């Protein structure tokens, strides 16, 4: 279901890893992720390359494990707060995989995926929390978002992000 455009990313990088949502689907869930490529390292363009199917498997030993994945997210918030958009909010990004939220399967169908550049076991930056709060507020104005969940909540046992380093009370306080 299309929405009015209110989110203003710093940059848009089009990902081919997207498709149409099922007809008449309301977007009611935001799924929060964390990612760093290589794991535990920040900066560079590896995340962009992963989401655009251009990650060189020979550039780092870990990349050989993930280069063939066809994944994306609607948004990425870098450590400095930069907001990148990979998939329009009206389209389905491929971020949650096999997933379920409150008994509803296939979370990609009805969710927005937001990646934070970070690791499960580390802290996130002040800039990331501030940008995430602004993004959630913008998305709530444009979409009938009712729920925020961790990737680990929608894919328990399979995913652990954004992990214990993410301060949910801090985010929720910023949203009030």
Write the CB contacts of 34 (distance below 8 Å, at least 6 apart in sequence).
Answer: 115, 116, 117, 118, 119, 120, 124, 151, 161, 162, 163, 165, 166
* pTM recorded for the entire structure: 0.95
Q: What is the pLDDT of residue 3?
A: 46
CA angle 69, 73, 76 (to 5 degrees): 115
Write the CB contacts of 94 (distance below 8 Å, at least 6 apart in sequence).
Answer: 17, 18, 70, 71, 72, 108
Going by pLDDT thresholds of 50, 70 and 90, the confidence category of residue 2 is very low
Fold for 24-35+72-175, please state it: Lysozyme-like (3.40.80)
Q: What is the pLDDT of residue 176?
A: 85
Are 88 and 19 contacting, i.e. CB atoms less than 8 angstroms apart? Answer: no
What rounded mean pLDDT belongs to the chain?
A: 95
SS3 assignment, position 32: strand
The single-letter DSSP state of residue 21 is P
Query: Could you write out the DSSP letters of every residue in 95-148?
Result: -S-S-EETTEE-GGGGEEEEEEES-TTS---HHHHHHHHHHHHHHHHHS---EE
Are 83 and 127 contacting, i.e. CB atoms less than 8 angstroms apart? Answer: no
Task: Kindly state the helix (H) or strand (E) to which residue 50 belongs, with its residue range.
Answer: helix 46-51
Residue 5, pLDDT above cutoff 80: no
Return the closest-CA partner of residue 39 out of 122, 96, 110, 108: 122
> Among residues 20, 65, 105, 115, which one is catalytic?
115
Return the closest-CA partner of residue 6 out of 138, 106, 119, 136: 138
Residue the block writes with tokens 């997207």: 18
The single-letter DSSP state of residue 8 is -
Note the pLDDT tens digit of each residue in 89-112: 999 999 999 999 999 999 999 999
Q: Judge whether 115 counts as a catalytic residue.
A: yes
Q: What is the pLDDT of residue 110?
A: 98
């Amino acid at each position: 279901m299309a929405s009015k455009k209110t989110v203003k990313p710093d940059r848009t990088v089009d990902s081919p890893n997207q498709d149409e949502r099922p007809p008449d689907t309301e977007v009611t869930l935001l799924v929060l992720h964390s990612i760093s490529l290589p794991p535990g390292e920040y900066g560079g363009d590896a995340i962009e390359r992963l989401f655009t199917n251009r990650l060189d498997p020979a550039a780092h030993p870990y990349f050989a494990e993930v280069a063939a994945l066809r994944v994306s997210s609607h948004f990425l918030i870098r450590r400095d707060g930069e907001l990148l958009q990979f998939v329009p909010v009206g389209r389905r990004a491929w971020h949650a995989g096999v997933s379920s939220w409150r008994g509803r399967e296939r979370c990609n169908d009805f969710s927005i995926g937001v990646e934070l550049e970070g690791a499960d076991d580390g802290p996130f930056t002040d800039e990331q929390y501030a940008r995430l709060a602004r993004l959630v507020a913008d998305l709530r104005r444009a979409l009938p978002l009712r729920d925020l969940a961790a990737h680990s909540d929608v894919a328990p046992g399979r995913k652990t992000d954004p992990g214990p380093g993410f301060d949910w009370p801090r985010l929720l306080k910023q949203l009030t």
